[in-house]
Structure 1
Amino acid sequence: MKKTDIIIIGSGIAALQLARQLQDQFYVMIITKEEIESGNSYLAQGGIAAPLGFKDTVQAHSEDTLEAGRYHGDANRVTELILDGKRIVESLVNEGAPFDRERDGGLSLGMEGAHSEHRIVHCGGDQTGKYVIKHLLETLSEKKVEFITGEMAYELVKDDSGYCCGVKTKDKSDAIRYYYAPHVVLATGGIGGLYPATSNHPAVTGDGMALAFLAGAKLSDMEFIQFHPTLLWMNGKTCGLISEAVRGEGAHLLNDRGERIMDGVDPFLELAPRHIVAECIFKERQKGRNVYLDISRIEDFQTKFPSITSLCIKHGVPIEDGMIPVAPGCHFIMGGILTDSVGRTNIPGLYAIGEVACSGIHGANRLASNSLLEGLVYGERLGAFLNQNGVNQALHFSPAFGQIKGGEPLHVPFQSEELKERMIHHVGIIREEEGMITHLKWLRQQPLTFQEHIDFNSREEIHIYFLWIVSLLVTESAIVRTESRGGHIRADFPQEDNDKWLKRKLVLQNNEGRLKVEYDEQNETKIYA
C-alpha cells in the first residue's frame, strides 16, 4: 500500500497539466494502464484551438463551439474555457512550446471544420499531442511526481462517510495493489475502444466512466459520440487517423465515381461539423461506394503532414496518387462524468478532467481542436482549486484501507469483439429504436450486475466488464433521447426537437445496483432493474 497527497489516474494532457500545477505544494502520483505515451493526447494530430489571430475573438470562438455542439453546451462555461484557453496557449508559447511558425516568425494558425477563423496551433505539422506531452513532461519534478505504469485502476475506494480516498489496481501479472490519497482525479480519456473502428489508442476503453459509475458518481450526455469522418481505411479495417487539418488545407472528399460527396450537403463542404461529414461518408459506404480524400491540391503534403505520410506509406497507400481511402470511426465522447467548473464530481474527494468528464463545454458535438484546450484549461483550474484549498492529510483516511474485501466473483460470458460489433451495428453513427432495444436486451441478458467491489480473475475480464457498463449507459441514453442532435443521429427521429430536448440532459447513476436515469430540470426519474 502506498500513500500520497493526490492520485491522478491517466497520463494525458489534462493529467500532466494538473500535475505540474500541483507539484510545488504536493506529492502527486500518476497511475496509467499502459505507458505514458499510451493515450489519445499523445496520438493527437490536430492542434489546439485558441482565438490568437488578428481578426479572431473569444466571442467568435465561443459561438463556433456552441454552434458545433448544437446549443446543448453551457454558454458561460464555453466562454470561460475560451478565455482561459487563450491565456494558457499564449503562456505555452512564451515558455517555448514548439508550435509551428510561419516564415515571418508568427504562429501558423490552421483551419478546421466548423471554425469561422484560422485559429488552430500545431506542432510538427500533425504531431501536436506528442510535442505538447513531451513539453509538459519536461516541466515535471521527478521528486514530486511519481509515475506508476502498467497498472489498471479497477475500483475506487471510499471511506465510511462516502469520501473517495484511494484506488485498487491490477498490474500486468494481475496482482492487486492499493493506493491511498485524500484526492483522486480521473483523467482516463474516452470510450473509443467500445467500437471496432476508432482513432483512439487501444487502451482507451471507458475505464474511468465505469469506475465512477460503480462508485455512485453521476454521468451525463453519454448518447453524444463523435465519429471522426476520416480514418485511413485499408483491407476492411481502420488503420489510423487522417487529421481534419488535411481538409483544412484543401482536400476534397470523393467517392469512387469521382463525385464530390459534400456538394449540396452543407455550405462548409468538407469543413462542415464532424457529425455531418461522418454521416455523409457513412451513407456513401452504405451504398457500396468507397470514399477517398483527394489531397492532390495540397502543396508539400509530406512536409506539412509527416506522420500521416508515414502512416500511409506503412499501409501501402501511395501518397503520390493523391487519393487516401477513408471511413468514419469512433473519436470522442462529449458525455462522461458530470462535473462542475473545476472538475468536482458529486462524490467528495473524486474529480474528473479531460474527455472522461462531462464539463458542459462540448454540447452535442465537439468543435475540432477544443479537446486539448479543455485538458489544458481544466488541468490548470483543478490545480488552482486544490492548491488554494490544500490537502488535509488527516481527513478521510480509513484505518481499514488495504483490508477491503472483494465482492462476489463474476464471470464475463462474451468477448469484447462481440460487444464492439454489436455497438457499431446497433448504436453506431446512425441509430434507430429497434436496433438499440435489441442491443439493450442482449446487454441485460448477460449475468452481470453493477458491483462496486469487483472480484475478477484478470484485467481482461475487468476490461470487458467495464465495456459492458459503458455500452449499457450509452445505449440507454441513446434510446431515451428521441431526436437527432450533434453526434446523436437517429433515423427514426431525424430532426432536432428543441421543444422537448434543447439543453435537456440525461443524468445516469448507479442506485444500489440499479440504473437510475434522471431528466435534468424535469421531475421525471426512471430506475431500471
Structure 2
Amino acid sequence: MSLYNCIIVGNGISALQLANEMKNDSRILIITKSMKRSSNSYRAQGGISAAIGSEDTSVSHYTDTIVAGCHFHNEAEVQELVENGSSLIQSLIRKGVQFDTDSIGQLSLGLEGAHSLNRIVHCGGDATGKHVVENLIASLEENVEIIENRFVYELIIHPLTKSCIGVKAKDQFGHNETYYGDHIVLATGGIGGLYSFTSNDPTVTGDGIALAYRAGAEVKDMEFIQFHPTLLYINGKTEGLISEAVRGEGAKLVNEYGSLIMKGIHPQEDLAPRHIVAKEMFQRRVVGRDVYLDISMISRFEHKFPTITTLCQANGVSLENGKLPVATGCHFLMGGIAVDSIGKTSVEGLYAIGETASTGVHGANRLASNSLLEALHYGEKLAAYLNGLSKMNRKQPVHRDLTTRQPSIYVTLPEIDDLREEMMAKAGIIRTKTELQQLANWLDRFEQPCLADLHLDDRSIAQIQRLFMLQVAKLITTGALLRTESRGAHNRVDYPDEDEQWAKLHIVQSKIGIEMRERKHEHNQVEIYA
C-alpha cells in the first residue's frame, strides 16, 4: 500500500504546476496513463495569452474572452484568470522558461483568433507547450514521484464518509495497484480521442470525466466541444495541428481556386472565433470541396514554425507551393467535471483542474491560448489552497483492501474506431436532432443497467478504456440533444439561434440524474461545496 498527501492523475501543465507549487514537505504522486511527456500540453503550439503589452489591459483580455465564449462564463473566474496572466508569465521567466523575444529583447507577442491585440507569448516559435513542460518537469523537487504507464481505472470512495481517498490503477501488464492519498486531483485533459479527427494526444480520451462520473461527481456543459479549423489533412485523415498563430502571421484560408473563404463571413475574417471559422471549413469539406491554408506571404516560415515544418515534411507536404491542405478536428472541451473556484468537485476529497474541469472561464467557446493560462492558474490556485490546510485536519485513509469482486458479467462494448467515426459524424461540428438521436440509439445498444457500477478489478485495460469512452460519449450526446439552441461551439442546424432561456442554464449530469441548473443556482452550489 502506498500513501501520499496528494495524488495527481495526469501529467500536463496543470498537474505539473500543482506539483511544483505545493510545499516540499508533502509527499506527492503524479500518476500518468502513458509517458510523462505524452500530453496535450506538450503538443501545444500557439502559446500563452496574457495582457502584458504596453497597450494591453486585463480588461481587454477579459472582454475578448467573454465575446469569444458567447457570454456563457463565470465572469468572476474569468476576471481572476486574466488578472493573473502577467504574474504567471513572470513566474515562468524566473524559473528559466525562455520565451521568444523581438530584436530589442522584448517579449515577442503573437496574434491569434478573436484577440483584439497581440498578447500571445511563445517559445521556440511553435513549441511553447514542450518548453514549459520540460521546465516544470526539471523543477520538480524530490518529494514528487512520477509513475508512468499506469491506467487509473477507479477512484476509491470511503464506504462510510463517501469521500475520495485513493485510486486504483493497472500497470502495463494488467496488474492491479492501489494508492491512497489525502487529496486526489484529476488533471487528465479532454476528450479528443473520442473523435476520428483530433489535434489531441491519442491517450486523451476523457478518462478523468469517466472516473469522476462513476464515483458520483457531477459533470456539466459536455455539449460544448471546440473544433480547431486547421489540422493538416492528408489522404482523408488529420495528421496534426496547424497553429492559429500561422493565421496570426497573415496566412489565409482559401478554396481550391485561391478564393478567400472567410472574407465577408466575419469582421475578423481568418481570425474570427474558432467556432465560426471551423463551421465554415466543415461546410466546405462535407460537400467535397478542398480547403487550404495559404502561407505564401509568411517569410522564414521554417524558422517561425519549426514544429509545423517538421509535421509537413513528415507527411510529404511541401511548403514551397505555399498551400497546406487543412480540415477541422476536435480540439478542446469547455465542459467537464463541475468544480468550484478552487477545483473541488461534488465529491469530498476529489479535485479537478485543467481541461478535464469545467471552471467557467471558457464559456461556450475557448479563446485561443487561454488553455495553458488556465492550467497554470488553477494549478497554482489549488496548490495554495492545499498548502494552507493543516495536516492534522486531513482525513486518514482506510488501511484495508477495498478490492471488489463480482460474478463475471459479459458486456458488449463498441470498437474504438467505430465510436470515433460515429461521434465525428453525428456529434461533431454541425449537429441535428435526427443524427444525435441516431447516435444516442447506437450508444444505447451497448448500455446495460450494470455498466455505471460495473466492478473493474478483473477487467482488462482495453475493456475499461472502451467502457470509459462509451460513458463519456453518452454524456456528450445527451447534453447536445438537450440543448436546443446554437451557442458557441455547439451548433444545432434545427435550432440555429441562441436562446436567452438557455443562456441561463447549465446541463448538469450525474449518476443520480440530469439537472437544468440555473447559473445563479450553480454559484449557490459552489458555496456549499466550499
Q: TM-score, normalised by structure 2?
A: 0.95
Residue of structure 2 in register with 1:155 after alignment: 154
- 5+ residue gaps, structure 2, are 522-530
State the partner residue of 2:510. Answer: 509
What SS does the corresponding residue of 1:240 show, helix, strand or coil?
A: strand
Q: Is the 8 A contact 2:414 2:470 kept in 1?
A: no
Q: Which amino acid aligns with 1:488?
A: H
Contact 1:5 1:393 in 2 (8 A): no
Matches of 1:410 and 1:454 in 2, distance apart?
A: 12
Give the drift of 1:258.
1.4
Q: Distance in 2 between matches of 1:399 and 1:407?
A: 25
Matched with 1:461 is 463
Deviation at 1:408, TM superposition (A): 5.8
How far apart, in 1, do the equivalents of 2:100 and 2:143 lie?
Answer: 31
Q: What's the CA shift for 1:390?
A: 3.3
CA–CA separation in structure 1 for the residues paired with 2:47 and 2:280: 24
1:25-58 deviations in whole A, cap 9, x for unaligned? 3110000000001110001011000000000000
Q: What amino acid sits opposite 1:351 in the alignment?
A: Y
Which stretch has the larger CA shift, 150-159 or 255-264? 255-264
Q: 1:240-389 maps to which residues of 2 (within 5 A)?
A: 240-389=240-389
Who is 1:239 aligned against?
Answer: 239
In 2, Cα distance between equivalents of 1:478 and 1:225: 10
Structure 1 residue 260, shift from structure 2 partner? 0.6
**One-letter code aligned to 2:205:** T
Residues 406/268 of structure 1: CA separation in 2 closer, same or farther (3 Å cut) = farther
In 2, Cα distance between equivalents of 1:181 and 1:100: 39
What is the match of residue 143 of structure 2?
144
C-alpha RMSD of the superposition: 1.5
How many residue pairs end up in the alignment? 518
Superposition deviation, residue 518 in structure 1: 3.5
SS in 1 for 2:348: coil
Percent of aligned pairs sharing the same letter: 48
Q: Please state whether the residue corresponding to 1:154 is helix, strand or coil.
A: strand
Residue of structure 2 equivalent to 1:527: none
Contact preservation (8 Å) 2:247, 2:270: yes
**Pairwise CA distance, 1:446:** 1.2
Are the equivalent residues in 2 in contact too, given 1:411–1:461 (CA < 8 A)?
no
Amino acid at match of 1:72: F
TM-score (norm 1): 0.95
Q: Say whether the 8 Å CA contact 1:410–1:455 is kept in structure 2.
A: no
How far apart, in 2, do the equivalents of 1:315 and 1:195 lie?
21
1:502 deviates by 1.1
Q: 1:394 to 1:70 in 2, by over 3 A?
A: closer
Q: Distance in 1 between matches of 2:161 and 2:472?
A: 27
Q: Is the 1:407–1:451 Cα contact (8 Å) retained in structure 2?
A: no
Q: 1:87-126 residue pairs with structure 2 within 5 A?
A: 87-126=87-126
CA displacement at 1:400 relative to structure 2: 2.8
Structure 2 residue 518 is the aligned partner of structure 1 residue 520: yes
Matches within 5 A, 1:171-182: 171-182=171-182
Q: CA deviation at 1:393?
A: 7.8
Given that residues 191 and 333 in structure 2 are in contact (C-alpha distance below 8 angstroms), is that contact kept between their aligned partners in structure 1? yes
Instruction: Kindly provide the CA deviation profile for residues 232-284 of structure 1, in whole angstroms up to 9, marking residues without a partner as x.
Output: 00011000000000000000000112111101110101100000000001011
Q: In the aligned structure 1, how far is the partner of 2:266 from the partner of 2:331? A: 21
| Residues 206 and 391 (structure 1), Cα distance of their counterparts in 2 relative to 1, 3 Å cut | farther
1:425-445, Cα deviation, whole Å (9 max, x unpaired): 111100000110111112122
Q: Sort the Cα spacing of 1:404 and 1:457 in 2 relative to 1 into closer, same or farther, 3 A.
A: closer
Aligned partner letter, 2:104: D
Query: In the aligned structure 1, how far is the partner of 2:407 from the partner of 2:18?
Result: 33
Contact 2:226–2:330, Cα closer than 8 Å, also in 1? yes
For the 8 Å contact 1:507–1:519, the answer to whether it is kept is: yes
Q: What residue in structure 2 maps to residue 422 of structure 1?
A: 422
Range with greater deviation from structure 2 (290-299 or 82-91): 82-91
* 8 Å Cα contact 1:13/1:376 also seen in 2: yes
Asked if the contact 1:163–1:396 (Cα under 8 Å) also holds between the matched residues in 2, the reply is: no
Q: Is the 8 A contact 2:504 2:519 kept in 1?
A: no
Q: Distance in 2 between matches of 1:275 and 1:521?
A: 23
Give how far 1:74 is off: 1.1
- Paired amino acid for 1:468: L
Q: What's the CA shift string for 1:373-427, capped at 9, x where partnerless?
A: 0000000000000000134486241133444446864533320111111111111
Distance between the aligned counterparts of 1:211 and 1:409, measured in 2? 20
Opposite residue 509 of structure 1, the aligned amino acid is S
Q: Distance in 1 between matches of 2:10 and 2:365?
A: 23
Please give the alpha-carbon distance, in whole angstroms, between the structure 2 residues aligned to 1:392 and 1:82: 35
Inter-partner Cα distance in structure 2 for 1:361 and 1:406: 42
SS, match of residue 263 in structure 1:
coil
2:84 is matched with 84
1:458 Cα offset (Å): 1.2
| Counterpart code for 1:520 | E
Alignment of 1:456-495 (within 5 A): 457-495=459-497
- Structure 1 distance, partners of 2:64, 2:459, is 47
Would you say the 8 A contact 2:23–2:387 is kept in 1?
no
